[in-house]
Amino acid sequence: MSHHQINTILRYMRASLYSLFILLFFLGSYFLYLMVQSFHHLNHNAISSSRTVSDSVFYNERESLGKVVYDYSFWNDAAEALSGVDDTSYYEDNFDSDYLFNTFNINQVIIYERDGNLKDSIVNGVGEEVSSPVYTEPAFARMFDQAIQTDYESPEPITSYISISGQIHVIAASAIVPDKQTDTLNKGQLYGVLMMTRQLDKSLLNKWERQFHLNDLSIQTSKSLLKKSYIAKDITDIEGNVIARAIWKPHQPGKQYITEILPITGIIILCVVIILVVFSTFMNKYIRHTMSAARQLENHRDELQQLAHYDSVTKLPNRLLGMDRLEQAILASSRYGSYTALLFIDLDGFKEVNDSLGHDVGDELLYEIGLRLVSCVREGIDTVSRLGGDEFIVTLTQLQSQSDAISVAEDILMIIKKDIVINDKKIAISASIGVAISQGDDLDAKQMLKQADIAMYKAKLAGKNQFILDDDEWFS
């Protein structure tokens, strides 16, 4: 072999070696680029998930306070207290103690008369001077105006945030109206407005931080500078003005992973043998972490889906999903020319059970009622939903005749009347049912709900424990 041939082979080998190093360099660089991009996407998804969770947490906090205010304002006792029929017992039994603070973390209770004058204010179970100027500020006046702009037959609470003495509170307001017509009270008449506040204090923020991984969660003024690597959520008042910001440091798995892998990547680029082992090891680790993060994100989406469409007490579809199922049932009936029926169910005597045995027993009772209602309908065809409080709706679809709906209503009346045992105590309860029936698309979902609601109230007035069709035919 000549010298020229040897030099040619060496040149080819050198060129091949250089080419190999260049290829490895570009492969390593490309791999590093993809890794960094993946980590950026992972961080972005984690931040997006953290924002979604925070939105859900703050929304649920407002809704829970709104439910408490609704329960204490849509009540004959509250209306009687403001009308002068039974003034003292309402305050003593409900507000002049630390029950609301210990049970629902309610800091302030403010009661206004129907003309907007301050009636009473209680802070942590202790009454204040009603002349306190803080409750006549414009923010409270705007909440009052919003609260009275509602249907007094079925009031909806108003929730927002408010700054009191520099502290941010969740606030809920609801019109004080009677839930039943009596000799001294007129149903559908305004008697006042009830407001409650819950402070976003350090203990509550710490609880959210632990439960929802909102690291270093705190409240700051809207003009404060945002810390590096922190994200913020605006907290707005009833008019949409930003009064503060919630800030926290989201979990960033990508930053953690890239800190671990970068030193190894430098060794991978230099050593051909080590690169194969380390590449496969850390790629598997990366895949596992990515799949774990993806599963966590999927779980978060499933949890948010559950919160958005299902009732937390009964695990039944909530109002939003129930109305959607009703609309789908009406479309199916219009396609096949069949009947759709809506049963509006209100439990008789539930408030007395809730007041005497406590909210925990009340929740268990609602859960058991939900199971009994589900047992009366066709699985996968009909839908049982909880509207809120002690109200349920049952959507029956693709019925061949109106008698099918009557049969289900009779079954529901019978099964609800059976005793329910909770904590070794027998509880007897009944129901009033309003039935609305539509053939095809004669009625839309809102019309059916309204007619069934009216029929249910007629059943209440007729003596309860019965059902009435929307054409005024009743059955007990």
Residues 384 and 264 both lie in one domain: no
Domain encompassing residue 463: 319-475
Rounded Cα–Cα distance for residues 218 and 248 (Å): 7
Please indicate, yes or no, if residue 459 is contained in any of the structural domains. yes
Task: Give the pLDDT confidence score for residue 459 in this predicted structure.
Answer: 93
Residues 101 and 184 both lie in one domain: yes
Last residue of a domain, one of 174, 200, 226: 200
Task: Give the pLDDT confidence score for residue 286 in this predicted structure.
Answer: 46
Task: Give the pLDDT confidence score for residue 217 in this predicted structure.
Answer: 92
Last residue of a domain, one of 200, 231, 264: 200
Please indicate, yes or no, if residue 17 is contained in any of the structural domains. yes
Residues 79 and 45 both lie in one domain: no
Residues 276 and 161 both lie in one domain: no
Residues 331 and 469 both lie in one domain: yes
Residues 16 and 83 both lie in one domain: no
pTM of model > 0.75: no
> Who contacts 332 (Cβ-Cβ below 8 Å, separation ≥6)?
338, 340, 397, 398
Rounded Cα–Cα distance for residues 385 and 315 (Å): 9
Residue 292 token pair: 């774990």
Please indicate, yes or no, if residue 220 is contained in any of the structural domains. no
What CATH number corresponds to the domain at position 429? 3.30.70.270
Please indicate, yes or no, if residue 69 is contained in any of the structural domains. no
Local structure of 255: helix, strand or coil:
helix
Beta strand extents in 177-230 (DSSP E only): 192-199, 215-220
> Residue ranges of the alpha helices (H) in 310-439?
319-336, 350-357, 359-375, 402-417
Task: Give the pLDDT confidence score for residue 39 in this predicted structure.
Answer: 74
Residues 327 and 455 both lie in one domain: yes
- Angle 72-74-79 (CA atoms, 0-180°, nearest 5)? 90
Q: What is the pLDDT along the chain (476 residues), one digit of tens a residue?
A: 555 555 666 666 667 766 776 877 777 777 777 777 777 777 788 888 888 999 999 999 999 999 999 999 998 888 888 887 666 667 777 776 777 888 888 888 989 999 888 888 888 777 666 556 677 788 898 999 999 999 999 999 999 999 888 889 999 999 999 999 988 888 999 999 999 999 999 999 999 988 888 889 999 988 888 888 899 999 999 988 999 999 998 877 766 666 666 667 667 766 766 775 555 555 445 445 545 555 665 666 666 676 778 998 999 999 999 999 999 999 988 888 889 999 999 999 898 888 888 889 999 999 999 999 999 999 989 999 999 899 999 999 989 888 999 999 999 999 999 989 888 888 989 999 999 999 877 889 999 999 999 999 999 999 999 999 987 554 55
Residues 323 and 418 both lie in one domain: yes
Task: Give the pLDDT confidence score for residue 287 in this predicted structure.
Answer: 44
164 φ/ψ angles, rounded to the nearest 5 degrees: -120, 115
Q: How far is CA 137 from CA 121, 143, 274, 371, in A?
A: 14, 10, 71, 47
- CB environment 10-21: b (16+ within 10 A), e (fewer): eeeeeeeeeeee
Residues 162 and 47 both lie in one domain: no
